[in-house]
Amino acid sequence: MIYLQIFWAFFVPGILGYGGGPASIPLIENEVVDRYGWLTVNEFSEVLALGNTLPGPIATKMAGYIGYEQGGILGAFMGVFATVAPSLILMLGLLGLLMRYKESPRVKRMTVVVRPVIAVLLGVMTYDFFFSSYEGLGWIQTLVIGAISYVLMERVKVHPAYVIAGALIYGGIFLG
């Protein structure tokens, strides 16, 4: 039963996330936090933070880890399989068809119409994270850490892995 749930929790984000792995992050959150309650918002943000400091595709890292937490090695396999297999099978199977239609306005329209919804889901998730940070740290710490990391990542173009490492050190020393 748990394996079936793991499969479903990662199959839905895998098959509906247009725009690569990052687009499926809010869909994964929807399943594992809101629907199945495997993680709290805070735990999910920890997984996401660590996932972002490590290299490689983000969707499979999350599926692998959350699947492992819920169902051991087989759970990890199930999560990764559900994330990867459906779209890969589609790609191999529909190859000829897609090659012919990849310039078709219908296929292009599919990505276009999904994008605003992904933006909304990401926006809602952003709000959840800021709110949960406010509850844990208060507004001042949240705003200061948020503003500093924004400047470092987006203006100075410091690699996100260093910013997360910096936040971990700051939190370990001053917020413990």
Partner 1 sequence: MKQRDIFMAFFRAGMLGYGGGPSSIPLVKKEVVDRYKWMEADEFGDVLALANALPGPIATKLAGYIGYRVGGFRGLLNGLIGTMVPTIFLMILLMTALNSYKDQPWVEGMSKAVIPVVAVMLLTMTWEFFKKSTQSSLGWVGTFVFVVVSLVLIQAVHIHPAIIIFALLLGALLKKNSPAKEKGTPSP
Q: Of these, 2, 3, 39, 153, which contacts partner 1 (CB under 8 A)? A: 153
88 touching partner 1, by CB under 8 A: yes
Q: Of these, 26, 32, 38, 71, which contacts partner 1 (CB under 8 A)? A: 26
83 touching partner 1, by CB under 8 A: yes
Say how far apart CA 50 and CA 72 lie, in whole Å.
19
Answer yes or no: are the C-beta atoms of 153 and 163 closer than 8 Å: yes
Q: Residue 84: which residues within 8 A CB-CB, separation 6 or more?
A: 14, 60
Q: Residue 9: which residues within 8 A CB-CB, separation 6 or more?
A: 28, 31, 32, 35, 36, 38, 66, 79, 82
Question: Minimum distance from CB of 1 to partner 1 (Å)?
Answer: 21
The region, left, alpha or beta by phi > 0 then psi within -120 to 50, assigned to residue 131 is alpha
22 touching partner 1, by CB under 8 A: yes
Comparison of 1 and 96: residue with beta carbon closer to partner 1 = 96
Answer yes or no: are the C-beta atoms of 79 and 10 closer than 8 Å: yes
106 touching partner 1, by CB under 8 A: yes
Number of residues that bind partner 1 (CB under 8 A): 106
Site string for partner 1, 53-72 (x = CB under 8 A): -xxxxxxxx--xx--xx---
5 touching partner 1, by CB under 8 A: no
12 touching partner 1, by CB under 8 A: yes
